[in-house]
């Protein structure tokens, strides 16, 4: 398994939830962007955030 690509902090600060337009938080361990407002976790693959609702994991 190859290591994850580094994430650009400035890019992360500019991204918002595509569902609610609320701010996101970054979970480095899970490589996900978390939308607390939408209860979704958007994956980051190879350093690229996948900001599609269909690709997001639902949070409890």
Q: Output the CA angle 60-36-53, nearest 5 degrees.
A: 80
pLDDT (tens digit, 9 = 90+) per residue, 1-59?
Answer: 445 666 777 888 889 999 999 999 999 999 999 999 999 999 999 989 999 999 999 99
What is the reported pLDDT for 5? 64
The pair of three-digit structure tokens given for residue 45, joined into one six-digit string: 């693959």
Of 45, 22, 4, which Cα lies nearest the Cα of 34? 22
What is the reported pLDDT for 1? 45
Task: Classify 9-58 by CATH class.
Answer: mainly beta
What is the reported pLDDT for 4? 61
Please state, in angstroms and as integers, the Cα–Cα distance from residue 48 to each residue in 17, 52, 60, following that order: 15, 12, 24
Residues 29, 12: contact at Cβ < 8 Å? no
What is the reported pLDDT for 17? 97
Ranges of each domain in the chain: 9-58
pTM: 0.85
């Amino acid at each position: 398994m190859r290591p994850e690509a580094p994430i650009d902090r400035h890019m992360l600060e500019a991204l918002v939830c595509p569902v609610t337009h609320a701010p996101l938080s970054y979970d480095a361990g899970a490589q996900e962007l978390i939308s607390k407002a939408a209860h979704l976790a958007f994956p980051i693959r190879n350093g690229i955030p996948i900001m599609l609702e269909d690709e997001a994991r639902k949070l409890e």
